[in-house]
Amino acid sequence: MLDYLLQQVIFALAIGAIYGLIALGYTMVYGVMRLINFAHGEFFMLGPYLFTFTMAALLALGGLPPLVDTIVAIVVSFVAIGVLGIAVERFAYRPLRAYGRLAPMLSALGMSIVLQNAIRVTVGPQPVHFPAIVPNSPIEMLGGMVTTTQLGILAAAVVLMAGLTAFVNGTRIGIWIRAASESWTTSSLLGIRVNRAVSLIFFIGPGLGAMAGIMYASYYGIMQPTMGSAVGLKAFTAAILGGIGSIPGAMLGGFLLGAIEVFGTAFLPIVSGGAVGTEYRDVFAFAVLILVLLFKPAGLLGETVTEETVVAKKDY
């Protein structure tokens, strides 16, 4: 039983890491702009597609060892999706900033449909095989079994999350972001260029989303145009669970949602003596979410309602 438990913890960590990475994008944008960026799931989806094209182009050019190719393709995906994120904010959200919160949100929904259908039309709607980036070999550990891909995902996610935390808390540019998220008006009065902070957030968030997309595609071996909306919704849930607007909250929410889902699949039938089957996984997962929100409406690590958020409500 203990090895079974351990095995399930490994699965929960792997999927939770991916949810957490995507949730970061939702939470950072919300923190500063009070905007739910519905297009964020599509950046996650675009990551593996762009990675595949870059890899194909690099292989066609030739001359580089495969490891260098992979690293270059990963960096290109991060930067290109990040730049796309900045462009989306600049042209689809910023002009609507003066028109309350509904207009940018609808614009984000539209952007999501545009990006998803662009891939659907140009590449095709069918799922495409995605090769494993790290060789996928199983390792026996304490009675459970972990694959190198799972370890790779976990390691990469932890490094990215630690890097982001250090960046936001420890650097001067990070201070801009935190200041902008605390109070837009005050920080601009203090001479912080809030628009730069916003652009930076729209670079980092989609970039991290793209990384999560590459990990996800490499883990499951496929990518498809609809994966952004399906997984994006889960990650958005994770962001709310952890407390939207809070960076550690998004990470916690991701791992927690992963754990709840795995628990719902692996232990619900055992705990209930077979009365409740695996098909109730989502019922269980979202019931937990509702319960958490009932007792902590701002999410687990979310800030409680401040004057600032009350002011923001006037926008409606």
Partner 1 sequence: MKRSTILSTLAIALMSAVSPVAAADIVFGGSAPMSGAQAEFGQSQIDGAQLFFDQLNEKGGIKGNKVVFRPLDDRADPRQGTLVAQQFCDAPEVIGVIAHMNSGVTLPALDIYSACEMPQVVPATNPKLMEMGYKTVVRPVANDFKQGALPAKHVSGKLGLKNAVLVHDKTVFGQGIAGVFKENFEKGGGKIAGTFGVNPDDVDFSALIAGIKRENPDVIYMGAGMPQLALFLKQMREQQVNAQFIGPDIGFTVDLIKQASPAFAEGALLTFQLPPYDSSPELVDFTNRHQARFGRPPGPYAALGYVNAQVIAAAAEKAKTFDRDGVLAELHGVKANTLLGPVAFDEKGENVTAPVYLYVVKNGKFELVKE
Binding site for partner 1 (CB under 8 A): 4, 7-8, 11-12, 14-15, 125-127, 129, 136, 138, 145, 147, 220-222, 224, 226-227, 230, 261-262, 265-266, 269-270, 277-279, 281-282
Provide the minimum distance between the beta carbon of 222 and partner 1 in the complex, in angstroms, as a whole number. Answer: 5
Q: Return the amino acid letter for 62.
A: G
Q: How far is CA 314 from CA 37, 187, 216, 251, 269, in A?
A: 20, 20, 39, 30, 47
Half-sphere exposure of 42 (CA within 13 A, CB side): 19
Specify the residue, 209 or 225, whose C-beta has the smaller distance to partner 1: 225
Residue whose CB is less far from partner 1, 83 or 134: 134
Question: Between 138 and 297, whose beta carbon lies closer to partner 1?
Answer: 138
**Quick one: which of 180, 230, 226 has its CA closest to 200?**
180
Nearer to partner 1, 32 or 268 (CB): 268
- Least Å distance between CB 126 and partner 1? 5
Number of neighbouring beta carbons within 10 Å of residue 278:
11
In angstroms, what is the minimal distance from the CB of 107 to partner 1? Answer: 26
User: CB of 122: closest distance to partner 1 in angstroms?
Assistant: 14
Query: How many other CB atoms sit within 10 Å of the CB of residue 210?
Result: 32
CB of 71 to partner 1, least distance (A): 24
* Tokens, residue 126: 């069918």
Query: CA–CA separation, 296 vs 11, rounded Å?
Result: 27
Measured from the CB atom, the residue of 195 and 226 that comes closer to partner 1 is 226
The two tokens of residue 298 are: 């701002």
Would you say how long the chain is, in residues?
316
